[in-house]
């Protein structure tokens, strides 16, 4: 009789929305964005290694679905993300995302992850990182204009990261 149990290598970790929220809450949103900021900054330092394939979009009257692939030669990843403005009225999220990370050497996935929450954190961390390098060095305040879902993440990122160049979050 054949053994139908998968090997340990077949067990690809999956980070669900619930697991992502547990991770964020255990680390703390500000600290997580600081950590994401550090990873983004390190990746910008190795920018030439990345395959920067343009995102592939499927546009319709209802919205857009995009695949966003990239690779650094060691790992290949993609994010699936949609944007459907009418979804909120239908009881769905306007934007939802998930991603896959795989080893280039064997093509085997090493992670499946929700990326809706992760994208909000990454977007805010990227803004804070950009401000670290692009804001005037003597800047002491910043303005946040808008009140969409992303604004809360932006405020947290700047509150946790502005101190790098001496600005006060207000």
pLDDT tens per residue across span 30-51: 889 889 999 999 999 999 999 9
CATH number reported for the structural domain that contains residue 44 in this entry = 3.30.1780.10
What is the domain range of residue 25? 8-125
Q: Does any domain span residue 139?
A: no
Does 36 map to a domain?
A: yes
Instruction: List pLDDT tens digits, range 51-102.
Output: 989 999 999 999 999 999 999 999 999 999 999 999 999 999 999 999 999 9
Total structural domains within the chain: 1
Residues 6+ positions from 122 with CB-CB distance below 8 Å: 36, 40
Question: Does residue 98 lie in a domain region?
Answer: yes
Question: pLDDT tens digits, residue range 131-170?
Answer: 888 988 887 787 888 778 888 888 888 876 544 544 444 4
Which pLDDT does position 169 carry in this prediction? 44
pLDDT at 168: 46
Task: Tell me the whole-structure pTM to 2 decimals.
Answer: 0.83
Position 23 in a domain: yes
35 found inside a domain = yes
8 Å CB contact between 87 and 78: no
């Amino acid at each position: 009789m054949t053994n139908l149990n998968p090997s340990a290598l077949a067990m690809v970790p999956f980070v669900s929305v619930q697991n992502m929220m547990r991770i964020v809450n255990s680390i703390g949103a500000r600290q997580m964005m600081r950590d994401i900021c550090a990873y983004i900054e390190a990746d910008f330092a190795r920018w030439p290694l990345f395959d920067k394939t343009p995102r592939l979009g499927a546009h319709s009257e209802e919205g857009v679905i995009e695949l966003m692939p990239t690779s650094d030669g060691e790992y290949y990843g993609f994010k699936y993300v949609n944007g459907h403005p009418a979804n909120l009225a239908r009881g769905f999220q306007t934007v939802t995302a998930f991603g896959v990370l795989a080893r280039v050497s064997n093509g085997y996935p090493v992670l499946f992850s929700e990326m809706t929450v992760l994208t909000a954190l990454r977007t805010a961390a990227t803004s804070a990182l950009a401000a670290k390098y692009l804001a005037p060095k003597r800047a002491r305040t910043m303005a946040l204009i808008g009140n969409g879902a992303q604004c809360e993440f932006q405020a947290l990122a700047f509150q946790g990261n502005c101190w790098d160049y001496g600005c006060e979050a207000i």
